[in-house]
A and B are shown apart, each in its own frame.
Chain A
Amino acid sequence: MTAAVFLTFSLSLFLDLFFRSHGILSVFTPFCIFYYAVVLNWKTALVLAIASAIPAIVFAGSAWPFDLLTYPAVIGLSLWNRRKTGPADPSLRRHLLCGALIPILIFGPKALTLSFDTFLAFLAWLPPHCVLSAVLLPFVLYLLDLFAEKLGLPLYSETIRKRENPPL
């Protein structure tokens, strides 16, 4: 389990580093936090969020450690999604919403430090990234589940289903 978590976080950090170095607001690491907050528990996810926020801050050279606050905030979003998802409410729509919210959650606080002109440019730049993130989140969750299934680890889809149909 530890190896799988380490591998997925390493890969997601690598992808974030690669895409962000090309100007794309990628949020693969927050996707992993979103996934593990449901599959594991919020305390483990919090440790993972803080551990992955540190390299993110160091790579970006951020003046302030916003990621130490925003990465754990993804756990809240994930748990909210899990709580709200029920048998009568199709979860895909809510996952799309969560996917769209994640870039705002991660990059929004940082954008407050920008000048007004740059902030306006950022606002214009954000919607395509939100759409991309909304589409990518379910896909990444599916891929992580496929990987977990191969290793016989707990699955996100099963954990959510348990919530949808709680055992009597």
Chain B
Amino acid sequence: MKQNSIRPVQTILLSLAIPAAFLLTVFTWQSIRLFLTRSTLDYFYPFLKASAAAEDAAAHAALAAGKSKNFLASSLAKMQEEVMRLSSQNASLEHLKQENRQLRALLELRQFSGFRPVFSEIIARDPMTWDETFLVDKGAVNGIRAGDCVLAVFDAPDGEGVVTAVAGRITSVSEHTARVSTIFHEDCTLSVFLAESGQFGSLRGKGRGEEPVISWLPADGKYGRGEIVLTGGLSPQTPAGLYVGTVQAGKDGNVSRISDHLYAEAELKAAAKISDLHFVTVLVREADKP
């Protein structure tokens, strides 16, 4: 009898508690996410590194397996195997060649006064947010702080050589890892300078796979297609003059459009091509050195 009278109370409490918990989670999610990122990433750091190490081990094993086939070349079947082996090895070497080129370019980064480059490897990313965010293997112990600028080496737009450009910014840091929001992510904002028109603006990612937008440009400015966009350096964590990309025409064909009758907006053609990225360099202020 007593149990029967308690049951409806429990049901009412549960039916109130579950939506309340859900709403609380939704409204406080950004804070919860930051807390979870800081608290869990360090716990899972060996786990994250193991994943990257497993990838390296697999790649080395694949190369080693290829080398042992050098002795198999006496018959036609064996020659075919040899051709296949060399083809696959060539593919691996192409990958290594590209990786080597990126690493060399990163090592030859010019020194920015007051900043120290921290070389990092991408250790985790998700297919659904592939171009927008990823995790790197360096964190607060290496001096990285939220807001630091992230650079990477990309193929030049003309297809010849490579170019070092801004890939994004650090949005959260744990002891041994850091989360990078790329310039395509909604969380990434950056002060930029348009080199030819001499105007400053604010770059913001739009997410959803769209190109970032430069807003807060003076409404009376003249902006040209292909105009070079550099970092403005207004934030103390970002040096001025880093290459970001060029201005491109929007879907309506216009280079800039007036927004709210107050300021102009232009679309960026980002130099960053995030999909094939493996290594990045985080620019850490010397003052923040641990």
Task: Report which A residues bind B (CB closer than 8 A).
Answer: 10, 13-14, 17-18, 20-25, 54-55, 57-65, 68, 107, 110-111, 113-115, 117-118, 122
Contacts and interface: CB of A to CB of B under 8 A. Distances in A.
Nearest to B43: A55
Contact of A62 (B47, B124, B126, B210): B126
A61 B50 contact: no
A14 B126 contact: no
A122 B208 CA distance: 12
A32 to B, nearest CB: 16
Nearest to B187: A63
B50 A14 contact: yes
Nearest to A69: B22
Contact of A18 (B32, B51, B208): B51
Contacts of B132: 61
Interface in B28-64: 29, 32-33, 36-37, 40-41, 44, 47-48, 50-51, 54-55
Contacts of A57: 33, 36
Contacts of A20: 124-127
Nearest to B206: A115
The 6 closest A-B pairs by CB, nearest first: A60-B126, A115-B208, A118-B209, A61-B133, A18-B51, A110-B128
A63 B208 CA distance: 12
A113 to B, nearest CB: 7
Nearest to B39: A58
Contact of B124 (A10, A54, A59, A117): A59
B179 A61 contact: yes
A162 B29 CA distance: 42
B210 A115 contact: yes
A39 B54 CA distance: 31
B98 interface: no
A54 B39 CA distance: 11
Contacts of B100: none
Nearest to A129: B127
18 contacts: A18-B55, A20-B127, A21-B55, A21-B122, A21-B123, A24-B127, A54-B36, A55-B40, A58-B37, A59-B48, A61-B133, A61-B134, A61-B135, A65-B25, A107-B127, A114-B209, A117-B209, A118-B209
Contacts of A122: 128
B47 A14 contact: yes
A59 B45 CA distance: 10
Contacts of B207: 63, 113
Contacts of B37: 58, 61
B210 A60 contact: no
A113 B186 CA distance: 12
Contact of A21 (B32, B124, B209): B124
A17 B128 contact: no
Q: Which of B123, B127, B179 has the largest count of A CB atoms less than 10 A from its CB?
A: B127
A13 B135 contact: no
Contacts of B124: 17, 20-21, 59-60
A122 B127 CA distance: 10
B90 to A, nearest CB: 21
Contacts of B40: 54-55, 58
A59 B49 CA distance: 12
A60 B47 contact: no
A21 B208 contact: no
A68 B209 contact: no
Given A64-B29, A118-B208, A25 B127 contact: yes
A145 B186 CA distance: 44
B129 interface: yes
A61 B127 contact: no
Given A65-B32, A111-B128, A115-B208, 13 more contacts: A17-B124, A21-B123, A23-B127, A24-B127, A54-B40, A59-B126, A60-B125, A61-B179, A65-B25, A65-B29, A65-B33, A115-B209, A122-B128
